[in-house]
Amino acid sequence: MKVVIQRVSEASVTIEGQIKSSINNGLLILLGIEDADGKEDIEWLCRKIAGLRIFNDSEGVMNLSLKDVGGDAIVVSQFTLHASTKKGTRPSYIKAAKPTVAIPLYESFIKHLETEIGQEVGTGEFGADMKVSLLNDGPVTIIIDSKNR
């Protein structure tokens, strides 16, 4: 499982002109799922994300987690995180899990993250054409791969 985490002042997901989710202070999480991913990847990543100290404390030092600041989160499925660009100019997505595998893992990831941070998480819609808008705060952008612990 790969995630791109962006600390945001605001973020939203729009599908067919309708806002599906929106947040203020928090994290926009782009989630890429591959066939080899499972429950252990979900648990490890959600624990890591919830505790990641990337929010400023009163002295302006990144010393607080999403849980500490009571921040919000949006999780958006993004199979393109598993793009292989080794050959040619057209990326291959062969490592990205098919919907039958990815959807249950995506849904489990959301539920597990909600448990970790103690609140509801906004989402996109798996497989939809989404417009993701964000105001990156910092900017702070972190990439984590559960296979590189």
Each as own residue / partner, the long-range contacts of residues 140-143 (CB below 8 Å, 24 or more positions apart, any chain) are 140/6, 140/7, 140/54, 140/62, 141/4, 141/5, 141/6, 141/7, 142/4, 142/5, 142/52, 142/54, 143/2, 143/3, 143/4, 143/5
89 is catalytic: no
Nearest to 35 by CA among 93, 92, 86: 93
Angle at 83 between CA 103 and CA 2, to 5 degrees: 55
Question: Exactly one of 14, 80, 100, 141 is catalytic; which is it?
Answer: 80
Active site residues: 80
